[in-house]
Amino acid sequence: MKNVPRVLNAWCLYDWANSVHSLVIVSSIFPVYFEATAVNAAGGPEIDFLGFPVKNSVLFSYAVSSAFLLIAILSPFCTAVADYSGRKKSFMRFFCYLGAISCALLYFFTQETTTFAVFCFMASLVGWSGSIVFYNSYLPEIATEDRFDRLSARGFSMGYIGSVLLMIFNLTMILFPDWYGGISSGMASRIAFLTVAIWWIGFAQIPLRILPDGQRRNDTLESGWIFNGFRELRKVFSEVRRHTLLKRFLLAFFVYNMAVQTVMYIATIFGSVELKLKAQSLIITILLIQLIAIPGAVLFARLSERFGNTYALMVAVLIWIGICTGAYFVNSENQFYALATVVGLVMGGIQSLSRSTYSKLVPSSTKDTASYFSFYDVTEKLSIVIGTAMYGLIEQITGSMRNSVLALLLLFVVGLLLLWRIPSQKVYRVDLQAK
């Protein structure tokens, strides 16, 4: 049964639970703490990692790339096994706990434990992204197509609200240490990492209890579900190859998402390195982005309902092109804040619309939703791997993040051209009905 309010609310609540990782660990407090803590004995950014000298900002980019490469490899097999064995929610729970516990271990991040912290950070990314693919795959199972855009936007909006609430609490520890016994900013940051774990695991219990369990295949035997899962993956892959619009969208999504995700992961370090902004200013900026992203997600959902998904996505990509152009020339704190405001407007919109657009393109009769969404997830993760690695490599070669921004601008232009080849879902479905 679809459109059950209790189930829809529980599904959105997982966004509320896990989005604190995106805000606190990926976008704000951890990158700032990492840039200040992962330094050499003289306080410089060149550090030793597993015997190799590397700049800390480059190491951050490579850590993100490596983590998402790993989950891109694991995801298709895990989702295929989950679909065939009916263990989708169990896999979602495992990755959720892996990510949250890894965040808790970041409490022990000091200058002396940088290598350990990098691996914990990577594990938190694997856990977060691994759970998201199973979470996303519930969308076509629990709702009808006419609700995809708004429900996807609602999930992202709840995620932004929940993460902002926890972020405000964490900011009080950093900005007003006297309220907490005069703790240092470093200790406040490490406690923030611990609160992410508690928040994530705590609120995840509700969707993990209410969301439906997967259905086992009638011919599934305990001894054979792993190998049958691999065969399931091959079957879904052959189906995806036959869907022209699905392939076109995945290609377009792959290109423009390389730039979107790289901006999200690197924006804080860009402000710190290129503009020399203070840590508190950066964190408050990220908080502002989250707040603006809430109406942004709703705005683009309404735009999609009126003009269709593809047109709405093209508007978002055009705005991202303007953002990258501005980022290359930005040289003051106020300009950075203005740019961050526009980022917030389109960040939630392009993410929620991408998810709902893919849901509309998945065949309505399929029962292999996790396997289908694994291809969306792999596309997303590989785009993050290549985007962040490319960003770090260009910075390493040229010595400037601004040159990396130009590469992101080019990706958005190519993504826009690829989206142009896809009929807007609203128009496309009307044309089918007319025929």
Residue closest to 348 by CA, chosen among 209, 158, 105: 158
Architecture of domain 5-41+48-211+232-434: Up-down Bundle (1.20)
Higher per-residue confidence, 369 vs 248: 248
Range ranked top by mean pLDDT from 90-99, 172-181, 268-277, 404-413? 90-99
If you average pLDDT over residues 138-148, what whole number do you get? 86
The yes-or-no verdict on residue 218 having pLDDT over 70 is no
Please, which residues have CB within 8 angstroms of residue 386's CB and are 6 or more apart in sequence?
65, 258
Structure tokens at 174: 């950093």
* Mean pLDDT score, 274-282: 74
DSSP 8-state symbol, 178: G
E-strand stretches of 291-422: none
**pLDDT confidence of residue 428:** 43
Scanning 138-224, the segments in alpha helix (DSSP H) are 139-142, 148-175, 185-210
CA dist 311 → 195, 201, 316, 419 (Å): 39, 37, 9, 9
Of 180, 216, 159, give the one whose Cα is nearest residue 27: 159
Pick 433 or 195 by higher pLDDT.
Answer: 195
Question: pLDDT at position 169, please?
Answer: 94
Q: How many CB atoms lie within 10 A of CB 178?
A: 7
Give the model's confidence band at 112: pLDDT under 50 very low, under 70 low, under 90 confident, else very high: very high
Percentage with pLDDT > 90 across the chain: 31
pLDDT at 432: 36
- For 22-35, the pLDDT digits (tens) are 888 987 789 889 98
pLDDT value of position 214: 65
Among 69-78, 80-89, 150-159, 303-312, the least confident range: 80-89
- According to the model, what pLDDT value does residue 344 have? 84
**pTM of the predicted structure, to 2 decimals:** 0.77
Looking at residue 217, what is its pLDDT?
52
Residue 113: the pLDDT is: 93
Calpha distance 33→184 (Å, rounded): 12
Mean pLDDT of 69-88: 79
Close Cβ partners of 402 (under 8 Å, ≥ 6 residues apart): 274, 327, 328
Confidence of residue 227 (pLDDT cuts 50, 70, 90): low
d(CA 88, CA 216): 10
Highest mean pLDDT among 235-239, 387-391, 426-430: 387-391
Mean local confidence (pLDDT), 271-284:
74
pLDDT score at 11:
95
CA pair distance 181, 417, nearest whole angstrom: 55
pLDDT bin (cut points 50, 70, 90) of residue 173 is very high
Report the mean per-residue pLDDT for the chain. 84
Most confident region among 264-278, 355-369, 393-407 by mean pLDDT: 393-407
